[in-house]
Amino acid sequence: MNKDRFFDEIKDILLLEDENINEKTPIEVDSMSSLLLIAFFDEHFSQTITQEKIKELKNVSDLMEIAGANNLK
């Protein structure tokens, strides 16, 4: 997945209003977004993400780290 598509997916999942998000964009995850993130990472990156890990997320770069740099072109 390329970075632009990743950013678009994250923007939709987290309902971010900012048109241009980047690695430094701060995030807040509610319960619905949490479930969507779990499904997203499982489907696209075969990564299991826990509720505990989700609670630690501060910005988009944290999500990129979970996806893996080699998976984002």
CATH number at residue 34: 1.10.1200.10
- Which pLDDT value is given to residue 25? 95
Q: How many domains does the chain have?
A: 1
pLDDT at 17 over 90: no
Residue-number span of the structural domain to which 52 is assigned: 3-71
User: Based on C-alpha coordinates, what's the Rg of the chain?
Assistant: 11
pLDDT at 8 over 90: yes
* DSSP three-state, residue 57: coil
User: Helix-strand-coil percent breakdown of the chain, rounded to 5?
Assistant: 60, 5, 35
| Average pLDDT value for residue range 20-35 | 94
30 DSSP 8-state letter? -
Reported pTM: 0.91
The vertex-34 CA angle with 69 and 70, nearest 5°, equals: 10
pLDDT at 18 over 90: no
